[in-house]
Structure 1
Amino acid sequence: MISDSDLQALVVRAKAATYAGDGDLYAEGRFLGGFTYGDGQLTYVDENTGEVGRFEGVEHISGADGTPYYRLQYHGGRIV
């Protein structure tokens, strides 16, 4: 079993490597698009569709054996 603190730490590291930090997505000049971050026995995946005007996605973390540990669905888009 993965502890809550281990899950939280992985999410923080993965987001630091994506749009929330100075990570890979910004370096590639994008804000949406799939992203995978592996860290030991856990893998964080962010999958989304759409453009800045309207998008939806899901983040999930699974173990090396495919056991799901975390899931977050989101959506958003331009307001004005």
Structure 2
Amino acid sequence: MRENNTPEEHEERLAHNHQRKRQKLAVETVDEHETCLARIQDRYSYKTPAQNTSIIHEKYTSEDANIQYAKSLLYMAP
């Protein structure tokens, strides 16, 4: 059974809950931001040809891997 709180205690509890929700939301937003930033940095960071080759081989494992690999080499050319 709930206790009857004074209005001050009630306001304090509401403020505390609101602060916890804001902190949780801030943490989630930072995590999302860092995840997106890491994804963007990974996509646009410089990779050596050997790294690109291994990434391409991971991406294309179907029968048309050679065609996809050749097309991707065209896009990697400076």
Same fold by TM-score greater than 0.5: no
Please state which structure has a larger fraction of its residues in helix.
2
TM-score normalised to the size of structure 1? 0.30
- Structure of greater Rg: 2
Higher relative contact order (CA 8 A, sep 6+): 1
